């Protein structure tokens, strides 16, 4: 004991932030000649599951801090590790029936080394994990120190960022949140795993999932508003929060979202999962504002019948601060045709929150909400509120439909904020994003697109360097070993990051062909790429690049056939996925989209919990107008896996493509007549993306109501995963 005490003091001197450990097991150190970061492990996992089983990996270890342990019973046979690089992963031990395993001897706050040799690195329903194979798990773990509280603090973030996959497996903290509903509810129901809804005062929502075996399962949900600390986890496409114990939940403030309180600018309401601080009122008609597609939706059509409606979406009162300019910004999509002035922006100084709006005086702000190009093409309508500076007002959207006409509008968010409506100037663009007239890097900077609209665009400019692991823009060729990105600029000799856009290079032909570490000759060469426009390294960028041309060479899969396009959905964003209808005829598993792996596109698998289940699942496009086409053909990219299942059901027709003229939304596809489109090229190696080839659409389907569908089958005991993206119909 004395010896331990002396050692303890020694450790204290070195590691001021931690308290040291000492009921240490047999092993006190590992060789450090092969230390992996969690980031390196995750990067390798991006290419598929793997096992640390090479002779050269005998000493492989990863070092990091335990951010959640099994105490509390909500986290099962798992601890979560935050690497010394800040990246996170789950560490999972098998149960005794599977040949496992002792309890982990680690506690939250421990600084540990974990021996990787023999472990499998895989995704469990999209959750990255180190799967321990050793029975005596603690032989794999050295605890260097304990109580490293500084290293295991939660990251304060937003639900939006969690849903964007930015914190997977990390310990995060959400503020201004509350359970909804909460009355009469406990964390879990009986011994069942239970989902509860957490919503923030700005309207974002996420699931808090609790095991029926958690020590706090039967405790009531808190009534109030406050902070929640939890592990950001995922189960396939469902993002969820796992609390460690109830001390992670501090919700003692008065609840928000009753609405009606006077809000200060900036007042931003998003309608992801609720109306938040907004209220709705139906003056006429049975149809009402609803939350769907993560937006506030209003339409006056049910089935094929139009109904008369007047329906309001109304803010809490907002104080327009004493600024030079103020505006409202409505982010929306709209389609179809309604009566004149069917969607208007209104403002009132005397509206009582919750009342019938026809009892108040409203001023029509005289703006037009044009239809958007499609369901993915969200528009920002900016409306000046300069006349109301200094006043407290209520802002509303008023919707009207008739017995013959109705538009559908989906509002993602409404912000009341400082700034000049329509201001900002914005430069003019050189290109238009087509292959013939691609955007330049400067165009991408000017447009400053933060979220992909689901479409891919062509961008052409000079390769001028890459972004290194410290997020530094390096303007030289191959000065490092970064292969995952390059940067483009319209200036071949840029001096600042402001002149550049980062380009994400997904693993495969595009990365292999473009990255500067392997291809130093690409430096200062012009490249043409095809990808989504969205944020990367916190700035406007190009991601999900599937095709590139440089110096006469091409890499990846060339989209379309080059002719007029009648339909183009990437399926690499939730919005694009949502344009299709997923219909499960049989089996629990469904077509789905996973925002953490957006480039997988639409996914379907009959495999869950290590078992293959029988399924019949259709993934059906929206109506595609081919009435003016001459020789339309379908192309798409697809892949199947894992490698061991590559031959499952190919000859039996488990992965087929069909076309029809008369499918109605929501119908069982088996009640409709379809024709199979044959000649689809299938992948023959696991997870290899291939082009379907050009599949001619038969003459009979050159109509205004053509739909194509991907039909998936699996049987009990045999299935594969099918992933589909970049679905194009063109001449
Ligand atoms: Ca109504
Ligand atoms: Ca199914």
Residue 258, pLDDT score: 64
Q: What's the gap between Cα 614 and its chain centre?
A: 28
| 197 shares its domain with 284 | no
| 599 shares its domain with 650 | yes
Local confidence band at 639 (pLDDT 50, 70, 90 cut-offs): very high
Say which ligand is closest to the CA of 310. 1
Say which ligand is closest to the CA of 284. 1
Does this model's pTM top 0.85? My answer is: no
The last residue of one of the domains, among 556, 580, 613, is 556
Would residue 673 count as lying in a domain?
yes
Please say if the pLDDT value at position 334 is more than 50.
Answer: yes
The last residue of one of the domains, among 228, 253, 278, is 253
| 280 shares its domain with 384 | yes
Coil, strand or helix at 6: helix
Would residue 562 count as lying in a domain?
no
Rounded distance from Cα 98 to ligand 1 centre (Å):
57
As residues whose CB is below 5 A from the ion ligand 1, the structure lists 282, 285, 287, 309, 311
Rounded distance from Cα 279 to ligand 1 centre (Å):
14
Say which ligand is closest to the CA of 617. 2
Supply the mean pLDDT for the chain: 88
Rounded distance from Cα 121 to ligand 2 centre (Å):
28
The last residue of one of the domains, among 115, 147, 179, is 147
Rounded distance from Cα 717 to ligand 2 centre (Å):
15
Please return the burial class of 225, using the count of CB atoms within 10 Å of its CB with bins 0-12, 13-18 and 19+. buried
Would residue 461 count as lying in a domain?
yes
Which CATH number do you get for residue 488? 2.40.50.200
Higher pLDDT pick, 373 / 725: 725
Rounded distance from Cα 181 to ligand 1 centre (Å):
25
Residue 261, pLDDT score: 84
Helices (H), 128-213: 159-163
| 14 shares its domain with 135 | yes
Which CATH number do you get for residue 87? 2.40.50.140
Higher pLDDT pick, 550 / 451: 550
Local confidence band at 7 (pLDDT 50, 70, 90 cut-offs): very low
| Degrees, nearest 5: CA angle 20-28-134 | 115
Please say if the pLDDT value at position 455 is more than 80.
Answer: no
Say which ligand is closest to the CA of 605. 2
| 631 shares its domain with 683 | yes
162-198 pLDDT per residue, tens: 988 889 999 999 998 999 878 889 999 988 899 998 9
| 9 shares its domain with 125 | yes
Would residue 638 count as lying in a domain?
yes
* Domain count within the chain: 5
| 187 shares its domain with 323 | no
Which CATH number do you get for residue 277? 2.60.120.260
Q: What's the gap between Cα 533 and its chain centre?
A: 15
Say which ligand is closest to the CA of 585. 2
Residue 1, pLDDT score: 36
Rounded distance from Cα 574 to ligand 2 centre (Å):
19
Helices (H), 407-505: 441-447
Would residue 426 count as lying in a domain?
no
209-238 pLDDT per residue, tens: 999 999 999 999 998 899 999 999 998 878
| 22 shares its domain with 83 | yes
Say which ligand is closest to the CA of 302. 1
50-95 pLDDT per residue, tens: 999 999 999 999 999 999 999 999 998 999 999 999 999 999 988 7
85-103 pLDDT per residue, tens: 999 999 998 876 666 667 8
Rounded distance from Cα 311 to ligand 1 centre (Å):
5
| 449 shares its domain with 395 | no
Residue 101, pLDDT score: 66
Say which ligand is closest to the CA of 712. 2
559-605 pLDDT per residue, tens: 765 567 889 898 988 888 999 999 999 999 999 998 878 888 999 99
| 549 shares its domain with 575 | no
Residue 15, pLDDT score: 42
Would residue 58 count as lying in a domain?
yes
Please say if the pLDDT value at position 13 is more than 80.
Answer: no
Q: What is the mean pLDDT of residues 521-534?
A: 93
| 271 shares its domain with 403 | yes
Would residue 575 count as lying in a domain?
yes
Structural tokens at position 602: 């639409």
Say which ligand is closest to the CA of 589. 2
Would residue 10 count as lying in a domain?
yes
Say which ligand is closest to the CA of 313. 1
Rounded to whole angstroms, the Cα distance separating 49 from 32 reads: 24
Rounded distance from Cα 618 to ligand 2 centre (Å):
9
Please say if the pLDDT value at position 429 is more than 90.
Answer: no
Rounded to whole angstroms, the Cα distance separating 230 from 214 reads: 14
Structural tokens at position 380: 């920002």
Rounded to whole angstroms, the Cα distance separating 343 from 370 reads: 9
Structural tokens at position 323: 């600024």
Rounded distance from Cα 586 to ligand 2 centre (Å):
5
In terms of residue numbers, what domain contains 269? 263-418
| 103 shares its domain with 169 | no
Rounded distance from Cα 707 to ligand 2 centre (Å):
20
Rounded distance from Cα 309 to ligand 1 centre (Å):
4
Rounded distance from Cα 202 to ligand 1 centre (Å):
25
Rounded distance from Cα 591 to ligand 2 centre (Å):
8
Higher pLDDT pick, 449 / 519: 519
Rounded distance from Cα 285 to ligand 1 centre (Å):
4
């Amino acid at each position: 004991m004395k010896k331990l005490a002396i050692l303890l003091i020694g450790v204290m001197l070195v590691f001021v932030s931690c308290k040291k450990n000492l009921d240490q097991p047999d092993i006190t150190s590992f060789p450090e000649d092969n230390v992996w970061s969690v980031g390196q492990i995750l990067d390798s996992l991006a290419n598929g599951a793997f096992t640390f089983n090479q002779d050269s990996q005998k000493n492989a270890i990863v070092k990091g801090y335990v951010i959640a342990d099994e105490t509390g019973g909500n986290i099962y046979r798992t601890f979560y590790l935050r690497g010394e690089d800040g990246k996170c992963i789950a560490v999972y031990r098998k149960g005794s029936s599977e040949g496992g395993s002792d309890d982990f001897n680690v506690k939250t706050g421990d600084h540990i080394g974990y021996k990787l040799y023999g472990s499998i690195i895989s995704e469990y329903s999209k959750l990255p994990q180190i799967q321990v194979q050793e029975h005596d798990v603690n032989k794999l773990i050295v605890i260097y120190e304990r109580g490293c509280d500084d290293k295991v603090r939660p990251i304060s973030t937003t639900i939006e960022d969690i849903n964007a996959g930015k914190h997977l497996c990390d310990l995060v903290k959400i503020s201004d949140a509350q359970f909804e509903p909460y009355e009469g509810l406990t964390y879990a129901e009986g011994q069942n795993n239970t989902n509860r809804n957490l919503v923030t005062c700005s309207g974002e929502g996420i699931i808090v999932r609790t095991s029926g075996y958690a020590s706090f399962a039967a405790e009531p949900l808190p009534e109030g508003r406050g902070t929640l600390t939890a592990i950001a986890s995922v189960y396939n496409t469902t993002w969820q929060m796992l609390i460690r114990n109830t001390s992670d939940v501090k919700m003692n403030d008065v609840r928000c979202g009753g609405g009606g309180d006077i809000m200060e600018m900036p007042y931003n309401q998003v309608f992801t999962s609720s109306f938040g601080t907004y209220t709705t009122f139906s003056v006429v008609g049975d149809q009402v504002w609803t939350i769907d597609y993560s937006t506030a939706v209003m339409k006056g059509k049910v089935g094929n019948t139009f109904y008369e409606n007047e329906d309001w979406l109304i803010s809490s009162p907002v104080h327009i601060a004493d600024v030079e300019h103020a505006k409202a910004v409505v982010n929306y999509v709209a389609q179809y045709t309604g009566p004149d002035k069917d969607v208007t922006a209104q403002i009132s100084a005397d509206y009582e929150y919750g009342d019938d709006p026809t009892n108040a005086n409203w001023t029509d702000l005289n703006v037009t909400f044009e239809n958007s190009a499609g369901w993915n093409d969200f528009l920002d309508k900016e409306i000046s509120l300069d006349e109301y500076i200094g006043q407290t007002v209520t802002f509303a959207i008023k919707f009207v439909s008739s017995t013959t006409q109705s538009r559908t509008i989906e509002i993602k968010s409404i912000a009341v904020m400082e700034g000049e409506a329509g201001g900002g100037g914005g430069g003019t663009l050189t290109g238009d994003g087509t292959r013939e007239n691609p955007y330049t890097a400067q165009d991408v900077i000017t447009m400053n697109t933060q979220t992909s609209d689901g479409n891919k665009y062509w961008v052409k400019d000079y390769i001028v360097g890459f972004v290194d692991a410290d997020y530094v823009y390096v303007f030289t060729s191959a000065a490092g070993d970064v292969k995952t990105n390059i940067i483009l600029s319209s200036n071949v000799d840029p001096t600042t990051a402001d002149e550049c856009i980062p380009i994400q290079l997904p693993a495969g032909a595009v990365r292999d062909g473009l990255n500067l570490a392997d291809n130093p000759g690409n430096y200062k060469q012009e490249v043409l790429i095809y990808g989504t426009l969205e944020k990367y390294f916190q700035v406007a960028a190009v991601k999900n690049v599937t095709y590139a041309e440089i110096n006469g060479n091409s890499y990846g899969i060339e989209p379309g056939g080059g002719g007029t396009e009648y339909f183009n959905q990437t399926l690499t964003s939730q919005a694009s996925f949502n344009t299709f209808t997923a219909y499960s005829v049989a089996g629990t598993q469904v077509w789905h989209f996973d925002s953490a792996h957006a480039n997988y596109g639409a996914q379907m698998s009959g495999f869950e919990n290590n078992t293959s289940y029988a399924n019949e699942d259709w993934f059906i496009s929206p109506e595609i107008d081919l009435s003016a086409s001459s020789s339309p053909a379908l192309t798409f990219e697809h892949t199947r896996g894992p490698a061991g299942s590559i031959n499952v059901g190919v000859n039996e027709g488990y992965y087929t493509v069909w076309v029809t003229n008369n499918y109605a939304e929501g119908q069982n596809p088996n009640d409709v007549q379809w024709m199979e489109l044959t000649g689809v090229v299938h992948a023959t190696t696991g997870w290899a993306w291939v082009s379907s080839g050009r599949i001619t659409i038969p003459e009979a389907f050159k109509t205004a109501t053509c739909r194509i569908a991907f039909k998936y089958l699996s049987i009990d005991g045999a299935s594969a995963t099918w992933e589909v993206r970049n679905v194009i119909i063109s001449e």
